[in-house]
């Protein structure tokens, strides 16, 4: 399967403003790209790429005063298969966890483990450790939070999402991550693309998606408490402790986001062999900021 994906972001700046963008597909998917997701900025400005401490690709740019348009339109190969399950995946005692996973047991900006510790053990402590316990966390979060873009705010934490019972995909992920960490299961935040492939098309505008990975059975596994089902065609952009580590853009000065579009869907059948992706006609759903 070939998936077409991309975005168009339009910012307005009153003065020249440095930015850090996290918009390219994760380096682990680089070999799957049929048409690269190179970032185009208008007006043209120098771009510099680097890898952050979590292995995500970041892009530095300084926007001039005025409007800047940031976009890409790319193609990526995907297995077309539903994400696997591993019911036999075990939890590891903390003393046996790899060093690199330990940071994902700690509280972080949006994941207040100290506030949810007692609830996590009361709610899930009696369950058998392993895959099914993480799935039970996802089942709880999926049922506990009501989804709605009107419930989004950039400062909302896991505790606030738990208390308010409202949020968007990142709030579902933050709450599930926090509960897993309370149970001594390493969990990390993920952001990327998730189109309506193999499922009924959602009426909501397309956006970037948030989910998480839990460390079980010696490797990281994808879980998605917002949708709470295994999906097709997920495209990872970045991983971190929580959403603070994987913002799609960080701006160092005043600005306004005045245009926002994201698309991801199965590419038109003829697109798989077409090198000029500028000729493609993606299924785009607009969300005006």
Residue ranges of domains in the chain? 2-80+247-287, 94-232
pLDDT for 128-165, tens place per residue?
999 999 999 999 999 999 999 999 999 999 999 999 99
Cα torsion 126, 128, 130, 136 to 10°: value is -60
Q: Give the residue ranges of DSSP H helices in 62-130.
A: 113-124
**Radius of gyration of the CA atoms of the chain, in A:** 19
Task: Tell me the C-alpha distance between 59 and 57, whole Å.
Answer: 7
pLDDT for 178-215, tens place per residue?
999 999 999 999 999 999 999 999 888 899 999 999 99
Of 2.60.200.20, 2.60.40.2250, 3.90.79.10, 1.10.10.200, the CATH number of 2-80+247-287 is 2.60.40.2250
pLDDT for 94-104, tens place per residue?
999 999 999 99
Q: Please determine, for residue 221, whether its predicted confidence score (pLDDT) is greater than 60.
A: yes
Please give the pLDDT value at position 279. Answer: 35
pLDDT for 195-205, tens place per residue?
999 999 988 88
Task: Tell me the C-alpha distance between 120 and 86, whole Å.
Answer: 23
Fold observed for domain 94-232: C8orf32 fold (3.10.620)
pLDDT for 83-92, tens place per residue?
999 999 999 9
pLDDT for 227-247, tens place per residue?
999 999 999 999 999 999 999
Please give the pLDDT value at position 205. Answer: 85
Q: Does 94-232 match 2-80+247-287 at the fold level? A: no
Task: Tell me the C-alpha distance between 7 and 70, whole Å.
Answer: 8
Q: What is the mean pLDDT of the chain?
A: 93
Pairing relationship of beta strands 256-266 and 2-13 according to DSSP bridges: antiparallel
Q: Please determine, for residue 272, whether its predicted confidence score (pLDDT) is greater than 90.
A: no
Please give the pLDDT value at position 269. Answer: 64
């Amino acid at each position: 399967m070939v998936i077409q994906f991309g975005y168009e972001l339009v910012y307005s700046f009153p003065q020249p403003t440095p930015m850090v963008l996290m918009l390219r597909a994760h380096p682990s998917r680089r070999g799957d790209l049929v048409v690269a997701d190179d970032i185009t900025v208008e007006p043209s400005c120098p771009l510099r790429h680097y890898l952050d401490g979590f292995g995500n690709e970041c892009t530095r740019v300084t926007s001039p005063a005025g409007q800047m348009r940031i976009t890409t339109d790319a193609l990526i190969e995907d297995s077309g298969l539903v994400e696997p399950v591993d019911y036999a995946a075990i939890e590891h005692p903390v003393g046996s966890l790899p060093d690199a996973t330990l940071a994902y047991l700690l509280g972080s900006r949006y994941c207040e483990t100290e506030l949810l510790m007692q609830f996590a053990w009361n709610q899930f402590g009696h369950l058998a450790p392993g895959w099914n316990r993480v799935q039970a966390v996802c089942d709880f979060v999926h049922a506990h939070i009501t989804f709605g873009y009107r419930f989004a705010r950039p400062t909302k934490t896991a505790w606030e999402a738990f208390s308010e019972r409202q949020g968007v995909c990142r709030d579902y992920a933050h709450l599930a991550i926090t509960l897993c960490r309370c149970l001594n299961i390493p969990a990390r935040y993920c952001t990327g693309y998730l189109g309506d492939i193999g499922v009924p098309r959602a009426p909501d505008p397309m956006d970037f998606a948030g989910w998480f990975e839990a460390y079980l059975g010696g490797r990281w596994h994808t879980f998605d408490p917002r949708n709470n089902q295994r999906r097709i065609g997920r495209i990872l952009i970045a991983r971190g402790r929580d959403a603070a580590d994987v913002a799609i853009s960080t701006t160092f000065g005043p600005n306004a986001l005045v245009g926002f579009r994201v698309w991801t869907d199965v590419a038109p059948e003829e697109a798989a062999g077409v090198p000029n992706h500028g000729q493609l006609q993606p299924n785009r759903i607009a969300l005006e900021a």
